[in-house]
Amino acid sequence: MPQFFSNKRLVVLLVSIIILVALIGTSMKERNALTMPEQFFKDSVGWIQSIFYKPANSVAGLFESIGDMKDMYEENELLKSRLNEFVALSEELKTVKKENEELKGELNIEPSTGLSDYQTFHANMIARSPDRWNDLLTIDKGKQDGVQVNMAVATPSGLIGKVKNVQPFSSTVQLVSDVDRTNRIAAMTQEDKNVFGTIEGYDTEKKVLLFSKIPVDIKVEKGQTVITAGNGGIFPRGIVIGEIVDVETDNVGTTQTAHVKPAADLYDINNVMVIERGAQNVVPDNGEGEEE
């Protein structure tokens, strides 16, 4: 066996460890945008990934739909009965909306306060980090389609994350389950009165989000729905995050933390919506963001 470490190799190893630490240090810094080569690589590989992902996904979808077929009949019956309820509800909504507008008009409130206005882009997922350490997705819409950093990303059932990096033709989404100290969302529950707090992390073993900074004298209960609060900046108000499954008081005893089970299945993601908040626009332009 040749000598395992000659002096030259030892030097090379040490130098490469130094380079490793330097690289990690520089790439851990808060960066607004990726460097050009990184964007180029991500975009071009993303294009090839979409070629791989779509057929695989449709094959998997075929199997799933065969599995779903047997429940279809029962589900259909249930949905039909729900439909009547829906008609009644939508009528009620119309009258309530109209009344609301009239009342707002009388009180001279601006027609939209803006917090809950948003437009959505539809995008497809094309890849996901294979190591589960980084919960990042790649989607096939980028800067050219109007996606910007920090926009909220959701599936029809609820919030899944936010846009982390944007390239011209693809972007990277950081899931809510990613353990990262900057991964915070302003959240609230809306039962009797509004309770505000922040989603401050994810418990990997229990698979719940930690909804913390709730004042201790406010009662939050199991089963309440948690939504985005919209006062944290870029997220609009009213995207469903999940349901409270457990509440505990913090060590200090001044705040409490609720465990929130995400409403969206973080592993069953195909089509996502990128949500652009319309609050900053003076005239909300609804026609632009509708892309298929």
Partner 1 sequence: MKRFLLIGTLFVLFLIEGTVFQVFAPEHYGFDFQLIPRFVTVIVVMIGMIMSPAYGVIYGIGFGLLHDLIYTDLVGVYMFGISVAAYIIGYLSKVFQLNWFTVLILGLLGFSLVEFYVYELFSLINVTDLSFHSFFYDRYLPSLILNGVFLLIVYYPVKQLLEELSESRRQENQAKRRNFL
Residues at the contact surface with partner 1, assessed by CB under 8 A: 1-2, 4, 13, 16-17, 19-20, 23-24, 26-28, 38, 41-42, 45, 48-49, 52-53, 56-57, 59-60, 126-134, 136, 138, 164-165, 179-181, 204-205, 267-268
Q: Which is nearer to partner 1, 89 or 179 (CB)?
A: 179
| Beta strand 118-128 pairing with 271-277 | antiparallel
| Cβ distance to partner 1 smaller for residue 164 or 237 | 164
Q: How far is the CB of 32 from partner 1 (least distance, A)?
A: 13
Q: Which is nearer to partner 1, 141 or 237 (CB)?
A: 141
Shortest reach from residue 162's CB to partner 1, in Å: 14
CB of 207 to partner 1, least distance (A): 9
CB of 250 to partner 1, least distance (A): 17
Q: Which is nearer to partner 1, 73 or 267 (CB)?
A: 267
- Residue among 56 and 107 whose Cβ is closer to partner 1: 56
d(CA 153, CA 121): 9
Contact, 225 vs 190, CB < 8 A? yes
Closest distance to partner 1 from the beta carbon of 210 (Å): 11
